Structure 1
Amino acid sequence: MTNVVPLNKAIHEKQMNEIVEQANLKKLQDYKGEFNLYVKWAKASSYPLDSFETVEKYLLEQVQVKRVKLNTFNRKHAALKFYLEYQYDLKQTDKQTTNTKAMRALYKTGEYMKLASVQAKTKAENKDEVLGMIDKYDTKEKSDIRKRAILLVNLITANRPSEMVTMKVSDFNLDNNEVLISLHKQGVPHKKRLTIECVNAVKKYIKTFDLNSDDYFVGKADKHGNYSSAELDANVYNKHVKRWLNGLAPYSLRKTQITNMYKNGADIPVIAKQTGHSSKETITKHYIDVYANDVDQYL
């Protein structure tokens, strides 16, 4: 008897396969630069490309000779592991996984410890000053109304660029002062709170541009400010925000909001409730900026 796969199940599997393949193709593109560096090194050293042993030799040289930082090491390993698995259908052995962990452990010892520190590319700003920069767009110009709504939402929600560009108008519950965000890292939806000022800015934006529930909240706009509903690339969004705020990036807004909440007395679980962080340690380690004068007032 022939097994018959239900049509809806077959369609679902096909759709999932397409989604996975798209994600893999994006990873190939993202990691292409790292892989090309590896290829150049392997060819110069006469080592085979399709070998995790070659990857080990390359990574060890990167640590011991090139003195790359830990985050760079992790990216290189992730890139090469993905390429060898995807393009060459290879898998790391348990021993090779152990060897990689041993190389990573070097960053906890003597001369390599300095390489483990992560230098923040963005820092928390004074929130009142940031709000002042955003409020310069509190005008009657259509393009300014759009910018102010987007920037306020980005600040108050502490969203990542990838979360901003995928939001739709239907994600907002303005009567309840909240918005539903798809947390890409965790892969789950999460409700975030909005201030009254933020809600009013969003309402004004929606009304001014006559947005529909299925429209992308950020969307795209031409040089004349004419809006079109489309998912903007996260990197392009990042460039827009930096241009609107004299160099401040979305992650600066994120760190500013988190640090401001903390300094105003919010404990870590409350901050996590707003940001959607699953790890409380991540908040304290990477997102809260404490400066010398913050310490001085308690001495």
Structure 2
Amino acid sequence: MMTPAHATDVSYDVLSFDQLDGWAADDHAAALKVFLNTCRDMKDPDWRALCKYAAQGPEPRQFFELFFRPVVIDDGQDAMFTGYFEPELEGDKYRSGRYRYPVYAIPPDHLRTLSRRELLDGGALSGRGLEIAWVDDPVELFFLQIQGSGRIKLPDGSYIRVGYRGSNGHEYRSIGVELVRRGVYQPHQVSAEVIKNWVRRNPVEGRDLLFHNPSYVFFREVSKVPADQGPLGAMNRSVTAMRSIAVDPSFVKLGSPVWVEKDGKKPLRRLMMAQDTGSAIKGAQRADVFFGTGDRAGKEAGKLRDPGRMVVLMPIQRAYALLPESAI
């Protein structure tokens, strides 16, 4: 487990499994299947040994209870769960009157540090052969960058799948927060759909609002990923709807099982896997839940902004190594 060098106030609390709300009722077999999808890419000897044993088909709940201990990592920040999804856009491989907005591959180093406005208004990316595809909606393209991956449906019904390749290094700034600051909406009113509709109703101001976020994401084509599987996460494996989360890897090791206790209108108690990251996901108790592909998943993901608790399942020796000697 890694923690940031500056995070001197991080604390760890090792729990027992009977302290996890709803643990016994979960589908541990489904969770184990998702764990196996990425555990083989974890290089540490203890994780490799656990993965090898998991592949032999143990009883799922016993596997987690026998070899792991639940650990609450507290960095002093309140827990927050949000949602993300894989958007589906309409596009083509070639520019036309309808498809006018490019999805860019990563440019040479000397262009990567420019802001969103400089890259787009300044034309720094045009004419360099970096276009992976062209889409019909700049607002959907903006949200594709926030999600970090997506599918582009071509006129013939086939798809191009794109995944995160890199960014320009500028810090992400929320346009939802900016709309609240301007007094356009109250915090509880803001969602992805609300933002999209406002930008479309106000095209001039809306375009300028999108530039409020200087961060710009570049993509790579990942069309080899089968259509029935999720997009590639940070571990270069497909993520699974409602079983994969994005975390801050400086606190939570990628590939780790994480028990999610999400509160709010639709409480969620489920064992998920930390298989992705996100530029806005910062903190020990911060997670983004993957909802799936398409508009329906997007609407559900956009509603999620709830408190709760994250509990990381660590290999036993790692968990106990975090405790002071007096507590062992």
Using the size of structure 2 for normalisation, the TM-score is 0.23
Between Structure 1 and Structure 2, the one with more helix by share is 1
Larger Rg: 1
Using the size of structure 1 for normalisation, the TM-score is 0.25
Between Structure 1 and Structure 2, the one with more strand by share is 2
